[in-house]
Structure 1
């Protein structure tokens, strides 16, 4: 079965009170989600069969945030600013190439055994 979207991107927008666990909204995730949505549209990537940028509640990776997850691949990224979002849009969403430096789950490079 073919997924409805080639890439379905979820931005954690959860906000917590200061002193609780870290929260993505306190790291600017709302602004970055809107920016990503705009960039995807500008690149002609938005729409059915292509890319969808969505808001999400807590994705439970608070200490690694702010975070996004891209499905159906299940690729988890963290980011700092618009430059990082641009790289994810251009490399991953448009070009199909993982942005290794922003991955939360780095591939295991240790030899087996």
Structure 2
């Protein structure tokens, strides 16, 4: 690209694009819901547009940009978008709200609003206002980068901790779990030995808050600060099993064997 072409392509924050690429990060949203959202935003964008997901199946961001350039577009606006809510959460909300109402015996009327992402009304104004906002041009002096240098290498660790941060675990008290776990690992001297990773739904939501430890394969319910402290001391520091907190143990497969997923080995525990 010549300097003059680059200058034309980056004509300024107020330049009107000839294509808008909406991007969403919603790994738990179904394909049907994404297609609904794509149709809506394309109808109201005011120019040629498409929508892609940044974190699941479909074209990646760079390929999508390559494709639009090949189609002749020269002023492309990449627009982050934070909707919609996932199908599973929409299906889950009525029941969990009813559970709350019953368990609290509260004299409260609970109203569940409609799914705004499925509504047509208001989208034209919403997207129009968004696209009227100045966009930041990617200038010639913007340094090309694929991220931090550390993103290339596997970190050094002994334990890989998967911490469920999904919304269903949150209603069972997982909100502070990640911070408590990090703090206890630091205070007990094993923080540098652990790769602590946020996870979405790990499935046995009603047994949460959950932490899975690999390569040992134990899944633990850490319901309070004391449980977190005991887990770090006994499992990560002392290398013990801590069966009173463990709700599941993953079997180590033998070479050339295939695990049998037909029956769950997750134990039933009382979470009340």
Aligned partner of 2:190 among 40, 45, 60: 45
Look up the SS of the partner of 1:53 in the other structure: strand
Q: Which residue of 2 aligns with 1:10?
A: 162
Q: 2:156 and 2:216 mapped to 1: Cα distance?
A: 13
Look up the SS of the partner of 1:90 in the other structure: helix
State the shift of 1:8 in Å: 1.1
State the shift of 1:10 in Å: 1.2
Aligned partner of 1:63 among 206, 211, 221: 206
Q: What number of residue pairs does the alignment pair up?
A: 96
Q: 1:7 and 1:25 mapped to 2: Cα distance?
A: 23
Q: 1:54 and 1:82 mapped to 2: Cα distance?
A: 19
Q: Which structure would you say has the larger RCO, counting Cα contacts within 8 Å and 6 or more residues apart? A: 1
Aligned partner of 1:26 among 152, 171, 175: 171
TM-score normalised by L of structure 2: 0.33
Please provide the CA RMSD for this pair: 1.9
Q: Could you list the runs of 5+ residues in structure 2 that have no partner in the other structure?
A: 1-154, 250-264, 266-272
TM-score normalised by L of structure 1: 0.76
Look up the SS of the partner of 1:69 in the other structure: strand
Compare CA radii of gyration and give the structure with the larger one: 2
Q: Could you list the runs of 5+ residues in structure 1 that have no partner in the other structure?
A: 16-22, 109-113
Look up the SS of the partner of 1:88 in the other structure: helix
Q: 2:218 and 2:197 mapped to 1: Cα distance?
A: 15
Moved over 6 A (4+): none
Show CA shifts across 1:19-51 (max 9, x none).
xxxx1111221201101101101222122xx11
State the shift of 1:52 in Å: 2.3
Q: 2:208 and 2:186 mapped to 1: Cα distance?
A: 25
